[in-house]
């Protein structure tokens, strides 16, 4: 089964890089400079930041459903990812290194936003786990999180549905 890995829309975050540190703090966000790699996975580009890259660490509502699984969590966004040509990254059947090199939590949801099942897997096993999850027709979409810090990574859908 083919699947799509969805990065976040860069236009949603462009304004964050125009704010002062005080204004970021008011929004619950902080500016960071990557001092190691891997270590700062960008949710727009689905890539790890390079040493020296500027990022904003901010709260993000990644599961905006009217139900018990509504969720917000921290994400990193790189300045470079929002400064280029606006595009919404979609990765078809290829696991970005930022996911493949980490322990990840996989959370499968139905169309009502209720969890169908969940697992924790090595990122190298993520493609097979996504295929199994999306092979279950009761699953509408999957969220992947970096398991250790619990941060949201991407949304994954079936390629034939492009949701």
Rounded Cα distance, 46 and 31, in Å:
19
Per-residue pLDDT of the chain (163 residues; tens, 9 = 90+): 789 999 999 999 999 999 999 999 999 999 999 999 999 999 999 999 999 999 999 999 999 999 999 999 999 999 998 876 556 667 777 789 999 999 999 999 999 999 999 999 999 999 999 999 999 999 999 999 999 998 999 999 999 875 4
CA distance 49 to 19: 20
pTM of the model: 0.91
N residues, the chain: 163
Q: Which helix (H) or strand (E) holds 121?
A: strand 115-122
Nearest-angstrom CA–CA distance, 88 and 8: 6
Assess whether the previous peptide bond of 35 is cis (omega < 30° from 0).
Answer: no
């Amino acid at each position: 089964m083919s699947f799509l890995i969805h990065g976040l829309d860069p236009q949603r975050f462009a304004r964050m890089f125009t704010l002062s540190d005080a204004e970021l703090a008011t929004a619950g966000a902080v500016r960071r400079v990557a001092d190691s790699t891997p270590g700062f996975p960008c949710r727009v580009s689905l890539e790890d930041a390079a040493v020296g890259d500027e990022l904003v660490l901010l709260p993000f509502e990644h599961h905006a459903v009217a139900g018990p699984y509504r969720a917000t969590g921290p994400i990193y966004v790189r300045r470079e990812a929002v400064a280029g040509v606006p595009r919404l990254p979609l990765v078809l059947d290829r696991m970005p290194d930022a996911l493949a090199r980490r322990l990840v939590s996989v959370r499968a949801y139905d169309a009502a936003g209720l969890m169908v099942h969940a697992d924790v897997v090595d990122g190298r096993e993520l493609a097979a786990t996504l295929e199994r999850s999306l092979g279950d027709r009761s699953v509408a979409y999957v969220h992947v999180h970096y398991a250790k810090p619990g941060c949201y990574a991407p949304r994954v859908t079936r390629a034939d549905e492009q949701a």
